Amino acid sequence: MLTSPATSDAAQGTIRGVPSSTEVSVSETIQGSFHPGDLLLIRDQVQGEILGYAEVSSRSPDSPFVLARIRSHSNNGMVRIDDVVESIDLSDFDKSKDQMSEGRHDLVIRGTRHISAKYKPQVYLGALTGQTAATLEQNEFFFGLGLVGFGFNESLQLSTQPVLDALGEANFQLKWQMIQNEDFRISLGLEPRYNLDSRRLIGSFSVYWDTFSNSKFLTYNQLRVTTGESELYGRRTSAEFSVNYGYITNRWNRIIFGPNIDIQRETLGGLLSYQWIWDHFHSAFTLQARDFTNLKFGNDGYLVYLDFWWRI
């Protein structure tokens, strides 16, 4: 059996049974080292590749084994008897980076608020790019120049754009995640904006869907329809469609790139962004084109900007 590359203080064990597709029984190398609520890495017994996560659910006083619920697992591997498990602390990247030496989208985890943002799905790609189909965790806060948000639960998120608020357009966005599985997630977004001076209302409706290509790539798709009258935006009914590809690096940072189509104006744009992610703080350097054919810098041409935000 392969020796797990766990850190010296990581408790270890072995899977001894698979009672169901969502549960495993584990024997501990040192009895009493696993406790309910502990998060475990599952490693393949031969190659040592990480297959996913399990969370310790209970310990039976009449059994030498603990039961753990499988939280997520790779589509490229199967959890089997004799696979190795080890405890992991995802709240601090410095503590876990030796175990998590390769960034992979299939190891991003939901439903655990107090972990490093390195290991969470991205809910936001930048001030001009907008959001994804992912939502904040329950009671999680988001602060940035382009967005301030709060997660009511794992599927409902409320946010506002502070720049628009400062310019006199009161606004909020409600995002509801309809579907989440191992292959894709789909969310709906509603964003009314009201100009306090002119008393004009403009509204946007968005459909977000993220699809998982493989462990290193996923796709962020967004269809946005806007209608109404605004001093900032003028009178318009328009639609935009964007497809952004997200590549995850071994250091768990992200590279985002892809095209954007403005259906009303019949223009093609796109972006290239590198995003650094720490335990809470994010920073992104982005080159974005609203229209590839308009070879000048500005709102209708090319933009270069530095963005940053926090998840707490």
Phi and psi dihedrals of 219, rounded to 5?
A: -120, 130
- Percent of the chain scoring above 70 in pLDDT: 95
**Tens digit of pLDDT for each residue in 149-173?**
999 999 999 999 998 899 888 999 9
User: Does residue 121 share a domain with residue 74?
Assistant: no
For residue 115 the two structure tokens come to 């972990």
| Residue carrying the six token digits 């939901």 | 110
> Residue 64's pLDDT is what?
86
| Between residues 239 and 57, the one the model is more confident about | 57
| Between residues 277 and 226, the one the model is more confident about | 277
Mean pLDDT of the chain: 91
Q: Residue 271: which CATH number? A: 2.40.160.40
| pLDDT tops 50 at residue 233 | no
| pLDDT tops 80 at residue 176 | yes
Q: Residue 43: which CATH number? A: 2.40.10.170
Mean pLDDT of 214-221: 95
Residue 182's pLDDT band (cuts 50, 70, 90):
confident
Q: Is the dihedral of CA 158, 161, 211, 22 positive or negative?
A: negative
User: Does residue 307 share a domain with residue 216?
Assistant: yes
Residue 7's pLDDT band (cuts 50, 70, 90):
low
User: What's the CA gap between 74 and 82, in Å, rounded?
Assistant: 17
User: Which of 73, 88, 103 corresponds to the end of one domain?
Assistant: 88
| Between residues 146 and 157, the one the model is more confident about | 157
What's the CA dihedral at 287, 289, 290, 295 to 10 degrees?
140
Q: Which domain holds residue 56?
A: 12-88
The answer as to whether 110 is a domain residue is no
How many domains in the chain?
Answer: 2
> Residue 1's pLDDT is what?
37
User: Does residue 160 share a domain with residue 198?
Assistant: yes
> Residue 297's pLDDT is what?
87
The answer as to whether 99 is a domain residue is no
> Residue 299's pLDDT is what?
78
Mean pLDDT of 249-273: 93
pTM of the predicted structure, to 2 decimals: 0.90
User: Does residue 256 share a domain with residue 190?
Assistant: yes
Number of helices (H) and strands (E) in the chain: give both, helices first: 2, 21
| pLDDT tops 90 at residue 206 | yes
> Residue 6's pLDDT is what?
54
User: Does residue 263 share a domain with residue 147?
Assistant: yes
